[in-house]
Amino acid sequence: MSTREVRTKNGKKRISQEVKMEIVREYYLEGQHNQSALARKYGIGMVTVHDILRNFAAENDKSALLMGKNANASESEEIKALRKEVLDLKKQLYHEKMRADFYDTMVDVAEEMFGIEIRKKAGTGQSKGCTKESQDTL
């Protein structure tokens, strides 16, 4: 008898919680084995493996559903969708950079053509027009 198994008073083999969690992990998270392969690996009946997985799903229905075998497929689809979104965002960024470059060029041409400065120079203060302080004194 291994340390993972416990014998009950009537001599039946009882599977430890540790083994049950390993079965659940291998089936739901890793998706490496089907139920019959897990039964062979742990030397227990396929019905027992099915019961362990069913009980886990019943007790932890949200996490079991999230970890189900379809999780790999949905993750794959989610990755594809995210890649498409990244590609779309890169295209948008490229177009916005082109637009900004066009705007800069347009301003440069207008400044040269009309001989006036359109862009505000760094470090210039507020215009000497009507400010809040000057309104208060009026």
**pTM for the whole structure:** 0.40
Tokens of 60: 């932890």
Q: Which amino acid is residue 38, in one-letter code?
A: L
- Which H or E run includes 63? helix 61-66
Architecture category of domain 5-66 in CATH? Orthogonal Bundle (1.10)
Instruction: Specify the pLDDT at position 101.
Output: 96
pLDDT(9) > 80: no
pLDDT winner (highest mean) among 18-27, 67-76, 86-95, 127-136: 86-95
Taking only the tens place, the pLDDT of each residue in 53-73 is: 888 877 776 555 555 555 556
Res. 2 pLDDT band, cuts 50 70 90 = very low
Cβ–Cβ under 8 Å, residues 80 and 41: no
At residue 104, does pLDDT exceed 60?
A: yes
The mean of the pLDDT values for the chain is 78
Domain boundaries, the chain: 5-66, 70-117
